[in-house]
Structure 1
Amino acid sequence: MGGDRWVAWEGGHREQLVARWPRRIRPGRVVDDLVCLTDLLPTIAAAAEDGRSVLDHLTGEPSSTSDTAAEDVAESDEATRLPQRELVHHSANGAFAVRRGEYKALFTTGSGGFSDPAGQDVYPPDRGGQLYDLTSDPGERNNLWQSEPEVARELFDALRATGARVATPASGSLETAAAAATSPRRSSTSGTSPERDSSADG
């Protein structure tokens, strides 16, 4: 996979989560779901079976956490799959990428970090961004940004919904992604995956 730490390519983010819990986690079980670091503390808290969330006391609103979720867990792996979600990646240079299901959109013309080319920010409908089907193309070689623009736009809308702050290449100033969607930008003419330093591939 291309890139290393601090970049928006898969080489900067994809890691296996390995867990061992005798008599609770079945040995050899493999689950193909998206998880991230922000999932670990809630998972550990749930596993500890001690203490409780005080979120409802802090917000003054009833907690949305269901205490009956565990009762619905079935034996099959398919029954325990997590709901589809969006994961937002952020690189060392401030580039954003969004992963949902098999698709990942990178709103940069390069790696967004230390791997060459670093690239510059780009947003739909501008050319030069990156969109990959990670199920069939985990190495991020077949760029679908131009052939499936509606998917790139959907993932950009998901980024906008988070209120993420992005740096526009034209001004370098920070603004919300929602505002960036209508700002004039310098477009790249490249519709293919950027050439990478082979020494960074893993």
Structure 2
Amino acid sequence: MARFLCALRSLPFREVPGWAVRGRADQGGLRASTGPEDAGSLTKRKPVLSKSEWQKKLTPEQFHVTREKGTEPPFSGIYLNNKESGMYHCVCCDSPLFSSEKKYCSGTGWPSFSEAHGTSGSDESNTGILRRVDTSLGPARTEVICKQCEAHLGHVFPDGPGPTGQRFCINSVALKFKPSKH
């Protein structure tokens, strides 16, 4: 079993599952859970809000997408055709997530990005996102969540432009755009 665990540690995982580090004091700068209020958490973040607190803070659509893993209708999002320079932040916690420099038109109906802000090559450890396996619709997809508050943002697919070939398909209602100050 120890050899198996050592072999797993050497693989290039983008996210460590909560069960793998629960109870440890620190995992590469990420805080493991310390109590029931943040059970399974791996992230540096502010205290978790309750469901009713999130509902007060967010619009019903923002709450549905970010806290209940919903999806806005295609071609309906306010940032789909946004071409301004700036940064896209998490609507829940204001963490910077995606740069307008990596935004492109995928034709899918949602804002698309080729990489998350802070990506260095294939290293996403300095980004504001985490990836999780999502099997809610059957076949496995890769969900994208905010590292700080665990808001559902969208999904990432392997059909994007080069050099990474990734398409981060993100819900507009999960984002807050801040234009660049020239």
**TM-score, scaled relative to structure 2:** 0.20
* Higher gyration radius (CA): 1
Larger % of strand: which? 2
